[in-house]
Structure 1
Amino acid sequence: MKISDFCIGDLVQGRLVVADATLGKTKGNPPKPYVRLTLTDGSEQVQSMLWDWDEEMSLPAKGLVLDINAKCTEYQGKKQLSNISYMPAEDQSITEFQPHYTEDVEGLFDAAMELIQGFGNTALRELLTYIYQENAEAIMYATSAASIHHMGIGGNLAHSVEVAHICEAISNLFPMSINHDLVVAGALVHDLGKVLTYKMDGPVIEYTKDGELFDHSVLGLVYLNEADCSFSYRYHQVVDLLKHICLSHHGSKEFGAPATPRFIEAYIVSYADGISATLDTLRQANKKAEAEGKEFTDKVFTCNNTRHLRQADIYNILKDSVIEDSEPF
Structure 2
Amino acid sequence: MKLENLLPKDVVEKLKERTKSTGPYIQELSDKMKETVELVGRIYSKKLQESKDGKKFLLMTLMDRTGSIRAVDWYNAEENDAKLAEGDVVLARGRVVFFEGHLQLNVDREKDALVLLTEEQYDYERFVEVTKRGIDTLYEKLVRFISEIQDREIRALLEALFVEDREFVSCFVQAPAGVSVHHAYVGGLLEHTVDVATMCKRMSNVYDFLDKDVLVAGAMLHDIGKVREYRITKKGLEVTTEGELKGHIALGLEILHQVASKVNIAKTKLLQLEHIVLSHHGEYEFGSPVLPKTAEAYVVHALENMDSKLSRFRSINEKQKNGGKIWSEFDKHLGRRIWLGRWKDED
TM over 0.5, shorter chain: yes
Query: 2:71 aligned with 1:48, yes or no?
Result: yes
Tell me which residue corresponds to 1:197: 229
Instruction: Say if 1:38 and 1:255 are closer, same or farther in 2 by CA, change over 3 A.
Output: same
Query: 2:37 aligned with 1:13, yes or no?
Result: yes
Q: 1:301 aligns with which of 332, 342, 347?
A: 332
Tell me which residue corresponds to 1:86: 114
Query: 2:132 aligned with 1:100, yes or no?
Result: no
CA contact (8 A) 2:41 2:89 kept: yes
Tell me which residue corresponds to 1:75: 99
Instruction: Say if 1:179 and 1:96 are closer, same or farther in 2 by CA, change over 3 A.
Output: same
Instruction: Say if 1:18 and 1:95 are closer, same or farther in 2 by CA, change over 3 A.
Output: closer
CA contact (8 A) 2:46 2:86 kept: no
- State the 1:117 CA deviation: 1.1
In structure 2, runs of 5+ residues without a counterpart are: 1-23
**Deviations along 1:19-43, whole A, 9 cap, x unmatched?**
424224336475x654332323333
CA contact (8 A) 2:70 2:104 kept: yes
Instruction: Say if 1:257 and 1:111 are closer, same or farther in 2 by CA, change over 3 A.
Output: same
**Deviations along 1:241-281, whole A, 9 cap, x unmatched?**
11111110111102111110010000000000111011110
Q: 1:277 aligns with which of 291, 308, 324?
A: 308
Instruction: Say if 1:274 and 1:57 are closer, same or farther in 2 by CA, change over 3 A.
Output: closer
**Deviations along 1:141-200, whole A, 9 cap, x unmatched?**
11111112111100111111111112112111112x111111111111111111111122
Tell me which residue corresponds to 1:23: 47
What is the RMSD of the two structures over their aligned residues, measured on CA atoms?
2.4
- State the 1:63 CA deviation: 5.2
CA contact (8 A) 1:171 1:180 kept: yes
Counterpart amino acid of residue 31 in structure 2:
I
- Within 2, Cα distance between the matches of 1:108 and 1:36? 41
- Within 1, Cα distance between the matches of 2:124 and 2:154? 37
- Within 2, Cα distance between the matches of 1:33 and 1:196? 42
Structure 1 residues 56-65 or 237-246, which shifts more?
56-65
**Deviations along 1:104-139, whole A, 9 cap, x unmatched?**
112111111111111011112111111112111100
- Within 1, Cα distance between the matches of 2:63 and 2:259? 39
CA contact (8 A) 1:23 1:36 kept: yes
Tell me which residue corresponds to 2:9: none
Q: 1:113 aligns with which of 143, 147, 158?
A: 143
Structure 1 residues 109-118 or 90-99, which shifts more?
90-99
Q: 2:185 aligns with which of 152, 156, 178?
A: 152
Q: 1:162 aligns with which of 188, 191, 195?
A: 195
In structure 1, runs of 5+ residues without a counterpart are: 319-329
Tell me which residue corresponds to 1:327: none
- Within 2, Cα distance between the matches of 1:81 and 1:140? 36
**Structure 2 SS opposite 1:313:** coil
**Deviations along 1:46-98, whole A, 9 cap, x unmatched?**
22022362268534245544333221222343322113423245742433324
**Structure 1 SS opposite 2:316:** helix
Counterpart amino acid of residue 252 in structure 2:
G
- Within 1, Cα distance between the matches of 2:311 and 2:345? 22
CA contact (8 A) 1:296 1:307 kept: yes
- Within 1, Cα distance between the matches of 2:80 and 2:202? 59
- Within 2, Cα distance between the matches of 1:275 and 1:35? 39
- State the 1:234 CA deviation: 3.7
Query: 2:337 aligned with 1:313, yes or no?
Result: no
Instruction: Say if 1:17 and 1:63 are closer, same or farther in 2 by CA, change over 3 A.
Output: farther
- Within 1, Cα distance between the matches of 2:238 and 2:84? 17
Query: 2:261 aligned with 1:229, yes or no?
Result: yes
